[in-house]
Amino acid sequence: MAHRWTNTLTRAEATPLATWLNRRQILAGLGGAATLGLAAPSRAQGLEPNTLEQITNYNNFYEFGAGKDDPARNAHRMVTQPWSIRVDGLVDRPGDYALADLLDGLTVEERIYRFRCVEAWSMVIPWNGVELADVLTKVGVQSSARYVAFETTLQPDVMPGVRQRVMPFPYVEGLRLDEAMHPLTLLATGIWGQPMPNQNGAPIRLVVPWKYGFKSIKSIVRITLTDSQPPASWNVINPREYGFYSNVNPTVDHPRWSQASERRVGGGLFAPRIDTLMFNGYESEVAGLYAGMDLRANY
């Protein structure tokens, strides 16, 4: 592990912009810290986190239906307690772990990340979670492991999308081991300091902020270490449109729409389009993982 991630998105962004700027002005007035006051607001402008209301009412969670409001309507019936995660494959300590046991001893941190959906909308989300690397270290990754596979819970009785077979279930995803061990990669258990809402993937989900949102698999019940590339649901359904890597990349379009720009959810009817950033703005942290790879071929 190279280093622990230092968050550049801070509590300041979680404060309503006007209040925060006000506070800065007061500070500047008090201390005469003009440079501090000048540098910060420009950063704050683009990175105000979305409200919990927005984050919980615009979701893709096809188990509960393909509409953006279906998860908010249907996910409350999902059973999330008790919750256990099967850890298997190339690990030293495989088994069925109760969620609390898997997280025991790890510190839940707040991470404010940009979240970019492959459908060209985005949010800024204050996650609470632990680094996936810490969980993997805990179960002991064997040296032959190259990939990590994940699986979402399957509860057909309460999942209308599963009964209607909108896509093959259970939903599965995968990461290369170095991506999984990267300090940015999170197993999130909450949003805005609240327990993970069901429609966002309760009680525990993956967050890989430099990849399109569908890589960040929800409601995880199984983590498997493997030596070969595991299947990833959207890649299996439509490999021409969704690659295994699916890194956010403004220069490689989806066949049916441009990925060069995006729209931040919550801006209303006149929300401006903003430029999509390479690796969703995490280029300096993760570009090294793909050194020498043709990102046009490995989309």
Residues interacting with other proteins, by CB under 8 A? 50, 53-54, 57-58, 68-69, 121, 253, 256-258, 261, 263, 265-266, 268-273
In angstroms, give the least distance from the CB of 271 to other proteins: 7
In angstroms, give the least distance from the CB of 49 to other proteins: 13
In angstroms, give the least distance from the CB of 167 to other proteins: 21
Helices (H) and strands (E) in the chain, counts: 11, 12
Of the pair 121, 147, the CB lying nearest other proteins is at 121
In angstroms, give the least distance from the CB of 243 to other proteins: 19
Q: State the Cα–Cα distance between residues 61 and 72, nearest whole angstrom.
A: 9
In angstroms, give the least distance from the CB of 59 to other proteins: 10
Of the pair 151, 262, the CB lying nearest other proteins is at 262
Of the pair 15, 54, the CB lying nearest other proteins is at 54
DSSP state, residue 23: H
HSE-up (13 A, CA, CB side) for residue 227: 5
Q: State the Cα–Cα distance between residues 159 and 154, nearest whole angstrom.
A: 8
Task: Retrieve residue 180's tokens.
Answer: 């999984």
In angstroms, give the least distance from the CB of 80 to other proteins: 24
Of the pair 176, 254, the CB lying nearest other proteins is at 254
Of the pair 121, 169, the CB lying nearest other proteins is at 121
Of the pair 92, 253, the CB lying nearest other proteins is at 253
Of the pair 68, 146, the CB lying nearest other proteins is at 68
In angstroms, give the least distance from the CB of 189 to other proteins: 23
